[in-house]
Structure 1
Amino acid sequence: MRPSTMLFSVLLLYAAASAAFAANPYPESILVLDQLAGSEGRGYLFAVNQANGYRRVVSDFADPAQGVLGVDPSGMTRIPAGLLGGNDRWLITDANGGTDGRGALYEVDLTSGARTLVSDLGNPQQGPLGLYPEDVLYISPALLAPISGTLVVDPFGGTDELGAVFKIWTDGRRTLMADLGDNHGPKGFYPTALAWRPGLLGLGGHLLVADSSAGTNQHGALFAIDPINKARTVLSDFGDPNQGWTDPRSESGPTFVLTGPNGSILVLVSLGGTDARGAVVQVDPTSGYRSLVSDLGDASQGPIGDVPVAMSWSANQQWLYVVDAMAGTDAKGLLLQIDPATGFRQAISNFGISSQGRLGEYPSAVEAN
């Protein structure tokens, strides 16, 4: 390629990327999905201003003009546009949507708020049936992982309804990626969240699955699943005190998992910590040893939580964003920013305060834009 042609190609890529950034209607916002907000309780997708916590409704799941109606939207993931430009894509699970209320996966256009159906988990012609799909994860092909694309976890799918992970193709077809009730390793009980941890130099890697009720005394477990042979191992047993921090309450358990810089693993434990208000713990990727990062019941670390349900990294991976479904004014939800080094928290948006925009009801997912 001649230098002039190469320069022209680079300029085209830069222009496309710039256009994509300009087309983003909510730059530097934090997107929060609330599964019960709105006049009919069908859910809102909010864009939250990082500076002042002000909330704007991107998509009202009760508005038929914006597409398919929501029932119980619960999980969210972003598909980055990449170097070729265009806009990011946003996928949302609906635990009770679709045929016979077996779940659905939607795509939401941030510019218009329009919703389209990607996969109906109650439609047998598209693959294995779901029952209550919760979290959704996108693994980029750029990560050189053995598996890529969109994955959805269903806590009632699979053998004996012990949990399943589906891969959802671009045409809406589903295949079974992992069955947590089969004999490929320790069985699941109630898996609720997914994360991908790459291997050395980006090669290999494992799918991490947080299960709130597996493990010793049903205190929960973090599974590692090999995407090639489907073998499951327990990376961290939250009922085993030999692996570090353990909460004494039988009802507490890991509900969300997130991977971050340098291969770090962070897990959200609902009903753990002081007064059962939640905790964020770090899990050693080799030994499964757990260390407390932030106790959401400890007021000395910032605003207290109640039922923290999901986490996301900031764009620069400096901060953690945590949504708490029942903290804040009138128990309508709270968006927190957490320093992973100190565990200190500050509130970004209180979903029970009308001066910060439309009220929430039960925020359930968060993603940095």
Structure 2
Amino acid sequence: MKRTLSTPLSSLIAALALCGCGGGHGSPAAYSLRHTFQIPPGAGQPRGGLVADTAGNLYGTASTGGTKRFGAVYRIDAVTGVESVLYSFLGVAQNDAQNPIGQLVFDSTGDLYGVASNGGSNDVGAVFRIDANSHAESLVHSFAPGPQDGALPSRSLLIDGQGDLFGTTTQGGANDTGTVYEITPDGRETLLASFGQAAAGKPAVPRGELALDSAGNLYGTTQFGGSSGHGTVWELASSSRGATVLPTVLHSFAGPPADGTEPVGGVLLDAASGTLYGTTQLGGINDAGTVFRCGVDGSGERIVYAFADISGNDGAAPMAPLVMDSSGVLYGTTDAGGSGYGTVFAVDPASGRETVLHRFGGYPAGDGQTPLNARLMIDTAGQLVGVTQLGGANNTGVIYRLPR
């Protein structure tokens, strides 16, 4: 069955071809490094996934590097593979963002938007824009500590068809445990919700990517809170929003061995089935993390796959968002396990079967390591493309590619 996925507009502009997993899914895939980061002179230690334009050029952010070492926005040429630093962040001392995290998104004009965990007017993070033509940077919003705004943004933005941006922060809001915010194309920021106190069983500290359904409802995860304190899956209805509104808990994680704990990758919405998919970095029978599924109404939550012990060949500690192909196969990364430096994996939700596609070899071997929370992308050839924060010849991260 053809799947309809809830994805940021950037994924549509990138024109990613979502193909079936093919006959090679059961065996280890060929793997290659597409780019190795180097500081100086370029960007390094990327902490977010990639987006592509219609020509196949790749764009991303790096948390360090650039001329001031406060991070950079970079482009990888589709033909030559050469890295260009489009913008070097100047840092809080010059009223600019610093240490960008998460994946960029395109708007309909080709401008890029992203978030930085530090910098801005108050040094608690900012949303920035990169002009499509000049590559000039401007701050769309500087976060401010206190109950009226969020602070320390979490991961990537989501953009809808009208150009509105949605995101979360891990602090700020009514209880200083994070917020959901919206920024309109003219730069107006509005708090849509505030999270609660974990000690009171409320969802607290949102992490990971958001999903948006056709009715305008938002879905995500919190690392902490819920009835058992192991984190939650939550919904924010389009009809109930405001600075003091608390998102609705769809599922409270119970922790190991029967459930996951600390979901930090967010959720992926399979609109065709009304199912949310995500990962927890811990929990499951081996307390090494899980892939889970949950209905958009909170029903039917269960572990799809529990990762093995960190000392084994399997991955452990999945922290990145998942992606899905049109056959319904899920792909993601783990931050640990494998050869000790993390893995790339595939999971069939129908059978619960997991395949390790690559075990990172790490810096000593010149391979990537620590993919952290960077989401994979599926390129127009149907191959997986991703980044690692560390590893490679310079231990400042790599871009890699492998068939599915």
8 Å CA contact 1:261–1:317 kept in 2: the answer is no
Shift of 1:297: 2.2
Of 72, 77, 96, the match for 2:118: 96
Paired residues, what number? Answer: 317
Q: CA RMSD in A?
A: 4.7
Bigger helix fraction: 1
Residue type at the aligned position of 1:220: G
How far residue 352 of structure 1 moved from its aligned partner, in angstroms, is: 2.7
2:210 is the alignment partner of 1:195: yes
Structure 2: distance between partners of 1:150 and 1:78: 9
Q: Is 1:310 the equivalent of 2:320?
A: yes
SS of aligned partner of 2:128: strand
User: How much has 1:354 moved relative to structure 2?
Assistant: 8.3
CA 1:317/1:97 → structure 2, altered by over 3 Å: closer, same or farther?
A: farther
Q: Match of 1:117?
A: 139
C-alpha spacing 1:216/1:352, structure 2 compared with 1 (3 Å): same
Question: Does the 8 Å contact 2:129/2:138 carry over to 1?
Answer: yes
State the partner residue of 1:227. 238
> How far did residue 326 of structure 1 move?
4.5
Tell me the SS of whatever aligns to 2:175.
helix
Q: How does 1:345-360 map to 2 (within 5 A)?
A: 345-347=355-357, 350=360, 352=362, 359=368
Supply the distance in 1 between the matched residues of 2:60 and 2:286 (Cα, whole angstroms): 26
Counterpart of 1:212? 223
Greater relative contact order (CA < 8 Å, ≥ 6 in sequence): 2
The residue identity in structure 1 corresponding to 2:259 is T
Deviation by residue 1:77-104 (Cα, 9 ceiling, x = unmatched): 53464xxxx64x5432211232232111
Instruction: Spell out the pairing of 1:15-34 with structure 2 (5 A cutoff).
Output: 24-26=54-56
8 A contact 1:61–1:70 mirrored in 2: no
Give the match's secondary structure for 1:364: coil
Letter in 2 for 1:366: R
Answer yes or no: is the 8 Å Cα contact 1:32–1:46 preserved in 2: yes
The answer on 1:294 being equivalent to 2:322 is no
Find 2:191's aligned residue among 176, 187, 192: 176
Partner of 2:253: 238
Matched, 1:78 2:89: no
Evaluate the alpha carbon distance shift between residue 345 and residue 56 of structure 1 in structure 2; reply closer, same or farther with a 3 A threshold.
farther
Using the TM superposition, give the Cα deviation of residue 120 of structure 1 relative to its aligned residue in structure 2, in angstroms: 2.1
| Residues 1:257 and 2:267 are matched in the alignment | yes
The alignment's TM-score, normalised by the length of structure 2, stands at 0.61
Q: Which runs of 5+ in 2 are unaligned?
A: 1-12, 18-51, 380-404
Larger strand share, 1 or 2 = 2
User: Identity of paired residues, percent?
Assistant: 22
Aligned to 1:133: 153
**Letter aligned with residue 292 of structure 2:** V
Deviating more after overlay: 308-317 vs 149-158: 308-317
How far did 1:330 drift? 6.3
Quickly say closer, same or farther: Cα 1:61–1:186, change in 2 above 3 A. Answer: farther
C-alpha separation in 1, matches of 2:336 and 2:67: 18
Unaligned runs of 5+ in 1: 1-16, 50-54, 143-147
